[in-house]
Amino acid sequence: MLALFLAALESAEDKRRFAELYEAHHVRMEQIALNILRDGHDAEEAVQNAFLQIIRHFEKIYKIPCNKLPFWIVSIVKNESITLLRKRKKEHDRTVAFEEWTPPSAETVTDWSELARLFAQLPQTYRAALEMRYLLGYSTRDIANRLGISENAVTTRISRGRALLREILEKEGFQL
């Protein structure tokens, strides 16, 4: 990885100084990132992002007093780690385990209007079957009786409705 960072620098002197900086601080940076992120891959990404930030502002390093440089480097890796942590949390919050989706209850749904908006994008044929199944908890037989269709047709509508809902969720930015 060091070779890739060095390739981003132009002068031999900058490359030498960066290599010294890298060797002196990368282990400590990895420890800090790992303490914040609790995941080795994420910590590695945060450290790489921190070194990219250092390269982007490499000319400023010469202006920082030597005794303050470690604090500056620690601040960068902490900021990159926190940014990555927030990004991961945001991604996690928008993740839907679609195959294991169970009917929501009043306790589990915090935004009924969002759920209604997503269902409203479905064609009525599929929406009715999905709503009865997942929101109202009806059995396949009950849905078939209420809609006046066969149980096989209900199963097909639910399957196709789920596929369409998956597409809608993906377009909305949810990760499945």
Residue extents of the structural domains in the chain? 2-93, 112-171
pLDDT at residue 106, rounded to an integer: 46
Per the model's pLDDT, the better-predicted residue between 104 and 136 turns out to be 136
Distances in Å between the Cα of 146 and the Cα atoms of 26, 45, 149, 153 are: 65, 54, 8, 13
pLDDT for 113 equals 65
Closest by Cα among 31, 53, 22, 42 to 82 = 42
pLDDT > 80? residue 6: no
pLDDT at 62: 75
pLDDT at 154 over 80: yes
Check whether domain 112-171 has CATH 2.70.98.10, yes or no: no
Instruction: State the pTM of this model.
Output: 0.52
Residue 126 has pLDDT above 60, yes or no: yes
User: Could you give the count of Cα atoms lying within 13 Å of 49 in the half-sphere of its Cβ?
Assistant: 18
- Statement: residue 156 has pLDDT above 70: yes
Average pLDDT over residues 131-144: 87
Specify the CATH class of 2-93 in words: mainly alpha
Q: How many CB atoms lie within 10 A of CB 21?
A: 18
| Average pLDDT score over residue span 118-139 | 85
